[in-house]
């Protein structure tokens, strides 16, 4: 593979990224699909940071720079956010000879080794034509490191650093501790789902959770101009941009919702306002979802969090949709949701104070245990189909790409 890169570009890469695959290795059945989708996602994400070859061999993905400008540091940042990867590491690549491996091992990990007291070497020889066995390689590399860094000692049980040497088909690779990847399964392998996205803390986290399980996302956002501002909608786009660093590029549907809210306000009892509004959201999202070939809806609901998220309220909301509704946060505490939102860097955006369509009209005394029959009765005052259709027709599509 290195030979090929060299032949086509004349550039000899000294460092690459090695990626170990996740669950996909276990899924014998769909392994080929999983691998090809992962490679496609990786190529797309890496194209923006430079010229890389992305190839797979022996259950390892190689990310190989094709020229000087290809920035491996940036590439590693991107790789860290791609679902389907369990661990990855930057690795020094050399020719498969001990004369090259020994000095490179000393040089490549010098900074880390100076900060350590103990180490051990783990060698793996998948190219059985290499003359030394794995224990022999470990012993020789260990000896060279002890000589070059006299402050070090070997500790096989709890070393500060494990120096890894892999003799593979295409070269010898030297690296330290692999870093954890984003886990999950590659986005797109599980199909598509429409995610109801607000500017809050929860829905971006819900979107991220389901993208992690392989779903491609179609975000649907309900905006209520003139009651809500341009800035509130921008906030949602900013949130989705963060999510797209993991979930890949997506097309967001912004649905004008003020008309529906006004109709409910004028024609239905106030105590059912929220639940009726939520049923409209489900219907409109489902209609868009079908047009976009989605198989499910996703929301950020968490049981008992607010009046509209009681068991009875959720049952009434659910009854408005035929598709499965995924609620990945249903059993989580707010603190657990906040923790994820900090990790994926959406929290600071979510807490910006811009009004959401749900907060513009909030009933003083919402029904926390609505009966579906009473909800249907309240809803019968409205021309549901016409309102839904109007929403879908007036939805505006925006492309969201990762930075």
> What is the binding site for ligand ATP (CB under 6 A)?
196-198, 200-203, 220-222, 281, 299-301, 305-306, 308, 356-358
CB of 245 to ligand ATP, least distance (A): 19
CB of 326 to Mg ion, least distance (A): 17
Q: Which does 244 bind (CB under 5 to 8 A by kind): Mg ion, ligand ATP, none?
A: none
Residue 278 tokens read as: 């939520």
Nearest CB to Mg ion, comparing residues 181 and 256: 256
Give the residue among 185, 393, 195 at the shortest CA–CA distance from 296. Answer: 195
Q: Which of 65, 200, 204, 366 binds Mg ion (CB under 5 A)?
A: 200
Interacting partner of 41 out of ligand ATP, Mg ion, none (Cβ under 5 to 8 A depending on kind): none
Minimum distance of ligand ATP from residue 258's CB (angstroms): 11
Minimum CB separation from ligand ATP for residue 287, in Å? 14
Asked whether position 198 contacts Mg ion by CB under 5 A, the answer is yes
In whole angstroms, what is the distance from residue 312 CA to residue 333 CA? 19
Residue 162 phi/psi, 5-degree rounding, is -100, 115
Smallest distance from the beta carbon of 170 to ligand ATP, in angstroms?
Answer: 46
For ligand ATP, the closer CB: 107 or 259? 259
Binding mask 72-111 for Mg ion (x = CB under 5 A): ----------------------------------------
Q: Report, in Å, the least distance between residue 306 CB and ligand ATP.
A: 5
User: Per CB under 5 A, which region of 112-120, 165-173, 192-200, 311-319 contacts Mg ion?
Assistant: 192-200
> For 185-255, where are the alpha helices, taking DSSP H only?
202-212, 230-247
Angle at 342 between CA 39 and CA 209, to 5 degrees: 45
Of all residues in the shown chain, the one whose CB is closest to ligand ATP is 200
Residue 268: which of 255, 277, 259 has the closest Cα? 277
Integer distance in angstroms from the first to the last C-alpha of the chain?
Answer: 30
Task: Closer to Mg ion by CB, 200 or 214: give it.
Answer: 200
Q: Count how many Cα atoms sit within 13 Å of the Cα of residue 218 in the half-sphere of its side chain.
A: 23
SS3 content of the chain, % helix, strand, coil (to 5): 45, 20, 35
Contact flags string 145-184 toward Mg ion, x per CB under 5 A: ----------------------------------------
Q: Which one of Mg ion, ligand ATP, none interacts with residue 306, CB within 5 to 8 A by kind?
A: ligand ATP
Distance of CA 382 to the CA centre of its chain: 39
Nearer to ligand ATP, 138 or 203 (CB): 203
- Which residues lie across from 162 on neighbouring strands? 120
Q: How far apart are CA 320 and CA 313, in angstroms?
A: 12
Give 159 or 199: the residue with its C-beta nearer to Mg ion. 199
Q: Is 380 exposed, middle or buried (0-12, 13-18, 19+ CB in 10 A)?
A: exposed
Q: How far is the CB of 281 from ligand ATP (least distance, A)?
A: 6
Partner from ligand ATP, Mg ion, none contacting 168, C-beta within 5 to 8 A by type: none
Q: Give whichever of 256 and 300 is closer to ligand ATP, judged by the CB atom.
A: 300
The binder of 357, among Mg ion, ligand ATP, none, by C-beta within 5 to 8 A per type, is ligand ATP
Say how far apart CA 320 and CA 3 lie, in whole Å: 59
Minimal distance, residue 371 CB to ligand ATP, in Å? 19
Q: Pick what 308 binds: Mg ion, ligand ATP, none; C-beta below 5 to 8 Å, kind-dependent.
A: ligand ATP
CB of 179 within 8 A of CB of 164?
no
> 21 pairs with which residues across the strands?
85
Work out whether strand 153-154 and strand 118-125 pair parallel, antiparallel, or are unpaired: parallel
Nearest one of 83, 46, 45 to 211, comparing CA atoms: 83
Number of H helices and E strands in the chain, helices first, is 16, 15
The residue written with tokens 């649905």 in the block is 255
Binding site for Mg ion (CB under 5 A): 198, 200
């Amino acid at each position: 593979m290195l030979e090929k890169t060299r032949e086509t570009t004349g550039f000899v890469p000294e460092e690459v990224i090695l990626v170990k695959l996740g669950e996909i290795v276990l899924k014998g059945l769909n392994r080929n699909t999983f691998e090809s989708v992962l490679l496609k996602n990786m190529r797309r994400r890496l194209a923006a940071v430079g010229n890389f070859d992305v190839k797979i061999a022996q259950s390892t993905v190689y990310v190989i720079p094709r020229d000087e400008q290809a920035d491996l540091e940036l590439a590693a940042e991107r790789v860290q956010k791609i679902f389907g990867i369990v661990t990855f590491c930057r690795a020094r690549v050399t020719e498969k000879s001990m004369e090259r491996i020994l000095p490179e091992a000393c040089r490549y990990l010098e900074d880390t080794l100076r900060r350590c007291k103990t180490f051990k070497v783990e060698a793996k020889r998948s190219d059985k034509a290499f003359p030394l066995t794995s224990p022999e390689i470990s012993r020789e590399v260990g000896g060279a490191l002890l000589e070059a860094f006299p402050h070090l000692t070997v500790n096989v049980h709890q070393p500060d650093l494990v120096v890894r040497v892999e003799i593979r088909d295409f070269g010898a690779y030297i690296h330290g501790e692999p870093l954890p990847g984003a886990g999950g399964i590659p986005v797109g392998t599980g199909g598509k789902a429409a995610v109801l996205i607000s500017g809050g803390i929860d829905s971006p986290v819900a979107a991220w959770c389901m993208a992690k399980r392989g779903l491609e996302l179609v975000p649907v956002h309900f905006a209520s101009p003139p009651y809500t501002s341009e800035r509130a909608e921008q906030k949602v786009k900013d949130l989705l941009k963060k999510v797209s660093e993991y979930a890949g590029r997506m097309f967001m549907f912004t649905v004008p919702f003020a008309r529906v809210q006004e109709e409910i306000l004028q024609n239905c009892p106030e105590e059912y306002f929220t639940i009726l509004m939520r049923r409209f959201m489900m219907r409109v999202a489902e209609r868009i979802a079908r047009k976009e070939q989605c198989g499910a809806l996703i929301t950020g609901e968490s049981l008992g969090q607010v009046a509209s998220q009681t068991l009875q309220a959720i049952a009434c909301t659910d009854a408005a949709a035929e598709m499965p509704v995924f609620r990945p946060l249903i059993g989580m505490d707010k603190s657990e949701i906040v923790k994820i939102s900090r990790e994926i860097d959406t929290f600071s955006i979510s807490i910006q104070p811009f009004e959401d369509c749900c907060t513009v009209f909030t009933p003083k005394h919402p029904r926390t245990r609505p009966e579906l029959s009473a909800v249907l009765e309240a809803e019968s005052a409205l021309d549901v189909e016409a309102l839904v259709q109007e929403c879908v027709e007036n939805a505006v599509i925006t492309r969201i790409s990762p930075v």
